[in-house]
Amino acid sequence: MFGEIFKCLIALISQPAKAWETLSEEEQSENNEHFLANYIYPLLGLVAIAAFLGILFTRKEFHVELALKASVKAFLSALGGFYLGAYLLNELWDSVFKREKDLKLCQRFTGYSSALLFVLSIVLALLPEFFFLKIFILYTVYIIWEGAAPYMKIEDHERMKFVGVSSAVIVLTPFVIEIILVLLMPGLRF
């Protein structure tokens, strides 16, 4: 299972155009539960584990409570960001792009488009001194650009608007969820 996930992540990050073509061909045979159980949930688990281990092994003191807080915050912001992003994209899919709502399609697109965000969350949790890697979040816009036409069937005249809207939704929702978590539960601030 993890081998397939890593292959998919590497393909989406290194060759997004080819990866989106492959994913759009496989879409008919894949159901949403399979996607969630074999792609999203394991990635979210890896994000939480990386946050836990990152705090345990990068701090001078061995602080399990802080590691648990970091793990919960990373997991909830990634999970909430995924579901909120997919929901917002689905709502915008109907209101802005005048297409029939399809939450499962929007969930798959959000999940695959967030590949780099998940990888960066894992790497930055384990290696916080490489904070400069956050600049690569902008590459997510290119991943979304490459997936708009083959996966979401967006026409060329709407592509720029779709990429702008979906990039804002996919990139910003995990950060918004994290800010809300810290505001509602100040104990998660460290």
DSSP character string of 119-146 = HHHHHHHH-GGGGGGGGGGGHHHHHHHH
What is the per-residue pLDDT across 57-67, written as a single tens digit (0 to 9) for each? 888 777 888 89
Of 39, 47, 37, nearest to 23 (Cα)?
39
Distance CA 172, CA 118 (A): 13
Please give the single-letter amino acid code of residue 159: R
The pLDDT tens digits for 136-148 are: 999 999 999 999 9
Q: With bands split at pLDDT 50, 70 and 90, how would you rate the model's confidence at 29?
A: low
The string of pLDDT tens digits covering residues 72-126 is: 999 999 999 999 999 999 999 988 888 899 899 999 999 999 999 999 999 999 9
Please measure the distance between the N-terminal and C-terminal CA atoms of the chain and give it in whole angstroms: 34
Cα 65 to Cα 183: distance, rounded to the nearest angstrom: 19
Check: pTM over 0.75? Answer yes or no. yes
Work out the percent of the chain whose per-residue pLDDT is above 90.
Answer: 71
